[in-house]
Amino acid sequence: MSFFAMQSPRAARRAFLGKSGLLLSGTAVALLAGREALAGQAGAAQAGDVKILNAALAAELEAVAAYQVGAESGLLQKPVLALALEFQGHHKAHAGVLASTVEKLGGRPVAAKAKYDFPSAGLKTQADVLRFAASLEKGAVSAYLGAVPLFSNRDLSKAAASILGDEAMHWAVLRHAVGEAPVPAAFVS
């Protein structure tokens, strides 16, 4: 089962922000946004930033692997399969930016696990696969939501919000695909 799927939204957000309790620095987010000049103004990156970014990278790599399981399941109809592969591509892009950011900070990006413990045996229908993917996306939304308000520089918040927006759209589309309300509430928690 997914790391995010096993946790409440609040716990997923905390896990994303780092088990050590450290928060993303302005430097890390500036680099994430491709704004090296802003990163220089924010000061030197801390080792904790690399740990947190690697936690985010690990989650994105898990999402890439989860979408691969769905794609290879044989359960997804052609238009849904195309959408799943598109979403997987988004997660690959997120992972690429995160890995690049870790390297820019002087760290070593985490690698994808050789094997993830997904609930594959419980995936019997297309709807099962979509609900599983939606649970991953919901966890990602919650995790990124926790990061957005932590920055005093609004440009840095935009970088984290950009990924959050993508994850929220994935979640809404997947919910709609299984017949659930795409946007279940006026606020995301």
Among 84, 66, 53, smallest CA distance to 163 is for 53
What is the mean predicted confidence (pLDDT) over 165-182?
A: 94
The answer to whether residues 14 and 30 touch, using CB atoms and an 8 Å cutoff, is: no
- Per-residue model confidence as pLDDT tens digits over 73-92: 999 999 999 999 999 999 99
- Per-residue model confidence as pLDDT tens digits over 17-75: 443 333 444 445 555 555 554 444 344 334 556 666 677 788 889 999 999 999 999 99
Separation of alpha carbons 107 and 187, rounded Å = 35
Mean pLDDT of all residues belonging to the chain? 75
Among 8, 61, 38, smallest CA distance to 159 is for 38
How many alpha carbons fall within 13 Å on the CB side of residue 40? 3
How many alpha carbons fall within 13 Å on the CB side of residue 163? 30
What are the tokens at 117?
A: 């413990």
pLDDT the model gives residue 12: 47
Separation of alpha carbons 52 and 17, rounded Å = 6
DSSP 46: P
What confidence category does residue 104 fall into, taking pLDDT thresholds of 50, 70 and 90?
confident
What are the tokens at 16?
A: 């994303």
Separation of alpha carbons 56 and 23, rounded Å = 12
Separation of alpha carbons 159 and 33, rounded Å = 5
The answer to whether residues 88 and 71 touch, using CB atoms and an 8 Å cutoff, is: yes
What is the mean predicted confidence (pLDDT) over 122-131?
A: 95
The yes-or-no verdict on residue 114 having pLDDT over 90 is: yes
pLDDT the model gives residue 43: 41
pLDDT the model gives residue 21: 36
